[in-house]
Structure formats: C-alpha cells, structure tokens
Amino acid sequence: MPITSRPHRRGAAAAAGVAALAVALAGCASGTGGGEPPAPVEWELTEQTAAPSGDIDRITWGSYSEPFSLDYIYAFDYADNQVLANVCESLLRLNPDFTLSPSLAESFENETPTTWVYQIRDGVRFHDGTVMTADDVVASMRRHLDPELGSSWYSVYQNVEKIERTGESEVTVTTRIPDSQFNLGMGGSAGVIESAATLEKLGADYGNSTGGVNCTGPFAFSEWTSGESISLERFDDYWNDDFRARSETFDFVFMNDANARVNALKSGEIDGSWLLPMNSIAQMQQEGSGDVLFGLNTSVGDLIVSNLDGPLGDRTVRQALLMAIDRQGILDAAYSGVGEVSDVLSTESVWGAADPAAKQAAFGGITSYDTDIAAAKRLVEEAGATGEQITIATAPIGPEFAVVSQATAAAAKSIGLDAKIETVTPSAYTTLFSDPSAREGVDLFYTLWYLSSPDPLEMYGVLRTGEFSNYGGWSDPEYDDLVNRAVSTMDPAERSEITAQAQQLTNEELPWLPLFTIPNAVYMGERITGMSPSLAFLYYPWAATLGAR
C-alpha cells in the first residue's frame, strides 16, 4: 500500500547508504576525468576471524559519517545502525549468516494466521538498572504505529492491527492479514526494545546527542560529542554471556574525509572501519598492518527505472539497455573489481530458508543479459525507439555515480538512444527517493539497495502496484498476486517457491535494471580480532565480539 501520509525514509536511507559509499570512493580516477581505474584486487568471503585472546581497554572505530539519530525508529542507515546494534537489542537477533535467533523474546509463535505471540525474556536489565517488562515491549513497538512520529520502519508494521500485553511476560501482535514478513523484521531496528519510562522522560530528546538511549545491549551509551565522536562503555550487568563486550570502551570517531580515514587505518590510529573506500583497498592490503575482510552482503546495485511513459516503458528497450551496459567494467572502475554481475534484484544470502529447488529456479531459471550491442540495437529499432531520449540522474557525491551514469549513457547511445546525464545536488538526489515531483523528467537513477531481513520478499514487496518505493509506478497484476500470496504464506519453503516466480518475472520485465552485487568490506586493525564482516553488523552486536588479538 502507498504510505503517503507518513514520512517514509526507505529510499532516502538507501540513497544515503550509497552516498556514504560514494564519499568513501572519492579520489577514484575513473569517472572523474582521466587516469586508469584501480587495478582489480584479490578477494574472498570471510565468515569469522579468530576469537580474541582476551579483553582490551579501548577500541577506536572510524565512521564515515555522524549518525542522524540513535532513536531506533529513525535509525535507518549505516552510520546510525552500526552504533545502535551494540547498544540496543531487538526481540530477535539477526546473525551474521542471516538467520534469526531468539534475543529479548526467548520464543515466539504464530498461534493463528494473524497473531504473533512473543514470550519476553525475564531478568533483562536496561542500562539504568531497571528490569525490562512486557509493557516496555508494547510501548517500544507501538511507536512505529504513531503517525505523528513517522517511523522509518512503518512498512514492517503496515499490516499491524494491535499490539498488546497478553500475559505477565507475553506480548501479542495482531495483523489484519497473515503477514510472514512482520516477524522477520523483528531482528532489526523494527524490533528494538527501549525503556518505556525513558521514552516518556526524554521525549523529543530521545536518541539525540543530548538524551542518548537506555537499552539492554552489551554496551551502554556514554557520550555523544556532536561533530566528533560517540563513546560507549561496557555494560557489566548484560544478560547474555555469549555477547559480553570484550572492550571496556568503544569509541566511534567521525571521519568524513576518506583519505584521512585510510591513513588512520594504515597507521593504526584507529582500529577499524566499515564501508571502506574501494579504490584504496589494494593500498590498505599492501601497506596496512591489519586485514581487509569481505563478508556476506544483501546489496544489489540497480538502475531504478523511474519513468515508464518514455522509451523505457517498453520492456524490450529496458532489456536492450541492460544488454548494452558494461557491468563488469563498472565494477572494475568503481569497485576495484570486487563483486559480481547480477541479473536479478536479490542476493543468494537472503534465500537461506528457501526450498533448494526454488532457489535454483530463482537464480538458474532466469535470462542472462550478456553484453550484445548488435542484438540490443536491433531490439531498440524493432521497438521504434531509435533516437528517443532518456535522462539519467546523477550527483557529485562520489566517483561511482559518475562511472554508472557515464557507462549507462554510453550504452544507451551505442544502441541508438539519445542519452542525457542530468547532474543534481546530493540533497536533490536523495529527494528522488521520497518526492515523486523530483523524479519528473528522470528516466533512470542509481541505488545500492540492501535488505534488512532474511527473506527476498522484502525486495519484491516494494515493487507491488502503489508501493511507496515503486518509483516508476510499474504495475503487473500477476506479479502483485504472487507477492501478496507469498506475504501470507508462513512456510518458508512454500513461500520461496512463490517468491522465485516473482524474481523470474522481474528478471523478464526489468522494472529496475540489476547491475551487480558487492561484498561487505571492513578493515580490522592488528590489535583486534573476533570479527564477522557480514552486513548483519547493522543489527548484530559486532563490536562486543571484538577483543585483543
């Protein structure tokens, strides 16, 4: 359903995540005029590094940006969630392999098709020493339903009818329709639990540099110095011995300058950083004393088709354009060759609970859009689109924007389309994801779209007719029926069979043009170990697992 009466930041946050990565890539010669692209680097996925040998006094972490907020209902981007994941906890825990485990809810049950019942863990303390209760859970979850607050995670709650305490340590969520996706969202920020008393006391100051937060995680919020850093302290009364923090203090230092961050990593001034400048990876591998690690990711780089009234309204023209884009060339130029070309909008990492046959159909039973300029040009001619113009929006945020836009424009021209690149400000680019009027006259724009739950249906849900993030207004009744049926299917294997059909359909129709997938990258300094480099760091207490090497 469209959510037009509430602020909805899914697209904006995705854009901000791309912006952050783009800023990190500043200095890449390719796409900025002249010079050779960085040489491809050797890479492989790492699940987990060696366990710490012991505790450590302090770890200093470089963050590409200052968080927007530590209020969980607005924490919707990398900078926010990399901090919050270590301070606040959710009903469920999203693990590095993208499975879900019990956390603040020790168990859950789908008692009826429209009810999710959570048994709340006893004896858990907030950082102020008070004990968490079912009332805290209800108060925390109900904030997502308040239109005055405008939660960024409202889409997880869009089918929720009521949230109530149904026992001393029991909370029941009732949905209007059977909703498999609701519970899957409880492993992220949508499932975070905060003290009801703290929420009432701090009001508008909750989650900012003045008020902070009061949660249950392995670290407690200590201090936020605006423009400089956030400091966390180990919480000694933490309930889960498996995730007891190994460092006494953990500091996030805001470092907007990518070159300064790289130099600080190489020198050992800081102990690590997420969202590495991809053009500097080879340098860090050769000159740094720590380790560059690549982990599981759920991101796909896509070109969003935002205008179906122009030439891209014809499916064959969309197919032709994808066949003409040098996607491997983009990876080499903008990402040092780290990643893989993709013909679909999801990664295999979110298909873990799928039926094997369904997963094979989703990734094997699809069209591969290999580069073929001659065939693509014929498709454009047959569609009668030769000479028609498309506009590609870009912004001076970082080199990969230039690489993607220029490669796309070159591909379009090579098959007979008249391509124009329109450069807008970074803030105007972000507005493309939230304001339909900003997309007027724009045919394509780039995003790196990541999923926050272990189910590809999170991706395919946004492309239903009328959805807020269906930016081009694409509509297909068969597709809508598939996705709606999948949402209401509780069995993961059965649901994956339906979702595989949705993936196959988008592979044929191309409402968005998939470009590539890239792994999650992190630098771990020589002082520390205990790292899982998965994208789950957005919701998993990764900082607590780091200790002395």
Q: What is the pLDDT of residue 278?
A: 84
Q: What percent of the chain has pLDDT over 70?
A: 93
Hey, what are 337's tokens? Answer: 């060759």
Per-residue model confidence (pLDDT) at position 549: 96
Residue 496 inside a domain? The answer is yes
Q: Is residue 330 part of a domain?
A: yes
pLDDT digit string, tens, across residues 386-435: 999 999 999 987 778 999 999 999 999 999 999 999 999 988 998 999 89
Please report how many Cα atoms fall inside a 13 Å half-sphere around the Cα of residue 210, on the Cβ side: 6
pLDDT at site 38:
60
Q: How far apart are CA 189 and CA 84, in angstroms?
A: 9
Amino acid 345: pLDDT: 98
- Where residue 442 sits, what CATH number does that domain have? 3.10.105.10
Cβ distance 342 to 514 under 8 Å?
Answer: yes
What is the DSSP-derived secondary structure letter of residue 352?
Answer: T
Q: Tell me the pLDDT band of 132, cut-offs 50, 70 and 90.
A: very high
DSSP-assigned letters across all residues of 372-428: -HHHHHHHHHHTT-TT-EEEEEE-TT-HHHHHHHHHHHHHHHHTT-EEEEEE--HHH
pLDDT digits (tens, 9 = 90+) for 436-447: 999 999 999 999
Q: How far apart are CA 341 and CA 517, in angstroms?
A: 6
Structural domain harbouring 384:
10-38+298-517
Which amino acid, one-letter code, is at 144?
H
Q: Is the pLDDT of residue 459 over 90?
A: yes
pLDDT above 70 (res 171): yes
Quote the pLDDT of residue 427. Answer: 85
Gap between the Cα atoms of 41 and 179, Å rounded: 43
CB 524 within 8 A of CB 67: no
Question: Is residue 358 assigned to a domain?
Answer: yes
| Residue 538 within a domain | no
Question: pLDDT for 149-158, tens place per residue?
Answer: 999 999 999 9
Position 462 in a domain:
yes
How far, CA to CA in Å, does 500 sit from each of 15, 38, 50?
27, 36, 36
Average pLDDT over residues 245-250: 98
* Phi and psi torsions of 166, nearest 5°: -120, 10
pLDDT at 26: 31
Token pair for 222: 């200590």
**Residue 328 forms part of a structural domain:** yes
d(Cα 450, Cα 234) in Å, to the nearest integer?
30
| Number of structural domains found in the chain | 1
pLDDT tens digits, one per residue of 89-120: 999 999 999 999 999 999 999 999 999 999 99
Tokens of 429: 């680019």
In this structure, is residue 339 part of a structural domain?
yes
Residue 203 lies in a domain: no
The pLDDT tens digits of the residues spanning 6-65 come to 233 333 333 333 333 333 333 233 333 345 656 678 899 999 999 999 999 999 999 999
